[in-house]
Homo-oligomer: A and B are copies of this chain.
Amino acid sequence: MTTVLVVDDQPLQRYGFRVLLDSIPETEVVGEAAHGAEAVRKTAELRPDVVLMDVRMPGMDGIEATRRIVESGGRSRVLVLTTFDLDEYAHAALRAGASGFLLKDARPEELLAGIRAVAGGDAVIAPALTRRILDEYARHVPADRSDPSEDPRLASLTDREREILVAIGKGWNNGEIAARFVVSESTVKTHVGRVLAKIGARDRIQAVIFAYDLGLARPGAG
């Protein structure tokens, strides 16, 4: 059973979603909200699996509400709906942390598939928008690099050394690495030295760059 909170400023629209979702055993509408602030409050209160969020609303709009819901750290996933395929909305919504973006004219089975996917932790985008996303993607994402994680220099590292490399990529100094791995700093130095030699890095700084280039290190990782 997937619990859903329906957010839309139009009562009739909310009614339509409720009828649709309650007509099948898989989903249940546990609440409704008419604007962003109410959506944030009811999400915290009802903890639905999925929040069905309209973008255009008076007061706090769906984007801002989505951002707050996501930042609150709860379990609820947000599936954003809009009447138009205005992709600035889509971009903003997805960057706000929405798990999906669909058009209101989606057929019922598409909406249900979207809710199912979002509830399962996946993401979903309206097909009409997917093309643009993919075009942008193909244009911006650098060509392959023949999968850098298969770099021969990486292959020569032992498991432990790979862990060390990741730790270096996080910006930790030897003492911090020693503390987190519960070994002595001498041991860390030994490992670091071997890692540098194997990947051909002059110092740990170039190891950090190496880790980033290969995608071992990720922005925002602490």
Interface bits A156-192 vs B (CB < 8 Å: 1, else 0): 0000000000000111010000000000000000000
Is A131 a contact partner of B122 (Cβ separation < 8 A)? yes
Is B208 a contact partner of A146 (Cβ separation < 8 A)? no
Q: With the chains together, A117 CA to B103 CA distance in Å?
A: 13
Q: How large is the interface on A (under 10, 10 to 19, 20 to 34, 35 or more residues)?
A: 35 or more
Copies of the polypeptide in the assembly = 2
- How far apart are A109's CB and chain B's nearest CB, in angstroms? 6
Is A139 a contact partner of B219 (Cβ separation < 8 A)? yes
When A88-B147, A99-B131, A127-B124 are in contact, do A140 and B142 touch as well, CB less than 8 Å?
yes
Is A122 a contact partner of B128 (Cβ separation < 8 A)? yes
Q: With the chains together, A145 CA to B144 CA distance in Å?
A: 26
Asked if A197 is an interface residue, CB under 8 A from chain B, the answer is no
- How far apart are A46's CB and chain B's nearest CB, in angstroms? 24
Asked if A1 is an interface residue, CB under 8 A from chain B, the answer is no
Asked if A206 is an interface residue, CB under 8 A from chain B, the answer is yes
Asked if A19 is an interface residue, CB under 8 A from chain B, the answer is no
**What are 11 of the A-B contact pairs (CB < 8 Å)?**
A94-B138, A100-B130, A113-B113, A123-B131, A123-B134, A133-B137, A136-B137, A145-B219, A171-B209, A173-B205, A212-B219
